Amino acid sequence: MAMTMATMQEMPRSPEAKLGLRVKDLWDHQEAQLSPDEKLNACFENIPVSAFPLPLATQDIEIKSDATLAEAVKILAHHNILSAPVVNVDAPEDASWIDRYIGIVEFAGIVVWILHQSEPPSPRTPSTPRSPSSASAIAAAANGNTFALELEALGLGSAATTSGDFFEDLTSSELYKNTKVGDISGTFRWAPFLALERSNSFLTMLLLLSKYKMKSVPVVDLGAGRIDNIITQPAVIHMLAECVGLQWFESWGTKELSHVGLPLVTPQQIVKVYEDEPVLQAFKEMRKKRVGALPVIERGGTKPVGNISLRDVQFLLTAPEIYHDYS
């Protein structure tokens, strides 16, 4: 009975936990003189990213370059994913992966696009009521038509864009309904995008997600000419959570945060927004500070009342009425 219980405790609870056991096996064979950090790096260097589990619910989800921005948001929200590869509809059937994909569309990039619509024109390029701003003209030229001129009619680019009607106006506009994913490919993180091959190591993937602050990394199957997987920061965190209790994880997972090399910041340096600030202000702060989420603090105090992340933009675009009458 005791042997049965021990066997059950060692059985992986998930595909991610199997990875943890693989690291454990490699850990046991590392040279004794290596430090725990060096051992862990050596283990991750010996595991290919092809071993990372595929998210079953989101396999083969791609967005075509001729899909509208509204359609892309619905696809991401429906499948509860942060990003998806964008397929070039003009690419030939036998195209290589680098020609098949334009890039990755993600909520972070959609937020940047929204902020572009809300920013006022440059003082160096003043516009008049009868003359659209240069930003609108550029957008119109890029899309090959004039629907982008609706920016002017909506009042986008003025202080009014932080009002509660902004998202309702935007999502009901022809600009939002007709803008194609491929049309705004130069607005945010697009081609050429950085991808890993299946043979690349876990260590390389972890460096891209941490040191270089990438939210996700596509993994390419060169033989098939397709993106085989997209590894996200939350997926890696979930994998690590499944490794709790394993010796290699406990060697550093039980350390205090002050002992793992995290940068020290004062309360004044914490990036935050106050509960009565407009949602767009929160997104602007995320873009400026290059972070994916912010704590929401009560006005006049230091107590957090919640948080807001880039992912929350999906609710403002799929159900904009929740922001109505707030400013």
At 306, is the secondary structure helix, strand, or coil?
Answer: strand
The model's pTM: 0.70
Distance CA 55, CA 7 (A): 27
49 and 205 in contact (C-beta within 8 Å)? yes
Q: Give the pLDDT confidence of 178-197 residue by residue, as tens digits.
A: 888 887 765 544 444 678 99
Neighbouring C-alpha atoms within 13 Å toward the C-beta of 114: 29
- Check pLDDT > 80 for residue 267: no
pLDDT, mean of residues 52-60: 73
pLDDT of residue 185: 66
Segment 157-179, tens digit of pLDDT = 443 444 557 788 888 888 888 88
pLDDT at 186: 58
Are 240 and 246 in contact, with CB atoms under 8 Å apart?
Answer: no
Residue 37, pLDDT > 60, answer yes
* CATH class of the structural domain 57-231: alpha beta
Q: What's the mean pLDDT in 58-76?
A: 87
pLDDT over 90 percentage in the chain: 17
Q: What pLDDT is recorded for position 66?
A: 94
Q: Give the separation between CA 305 and CA 307, rounded to whole angstroms.
A: 7
Residues linked to residue 260 through DSSP beta bridges, in sequence order: none
pLDDT at residue 272 in the model: 92
Flag whether pLDDT at 251 surpasses 80.
Answer: no
Spatial distance between the Cα atoms of 185 and 122, rounded to a whole number of angstroms? 22
Mean pLDDT computed over every residue of the chain: 76
How far, in whole angstroms, is CA 174 from its chain's centroid? Answer: 26
267-312 classified as CATH 3.10.580.10: yes
Q: Give residue 264's pLDDT.
A: 76
What stretches of 220-325 show up as alpha helix (H) in DSSP? 233-241, 247-253, 279-289, 313-318
The dihedrals phi and psi of 124, each to the nearest 5 degrees, come to -80, -15
pLDDT at 197: 93
- The percent of residues in the chain predicted with pLDDT above 70, rounded, is 76
* pLDDT-derived band at 112, boundaries 50, 70, 90: confident
Q: Where in the chain is the domain with CATH 3.10.580.10?
A: 57-231, 267-312
pLDDT digits (tens, 9 = 90+) for 274-290: 999 988 888 888 888 87
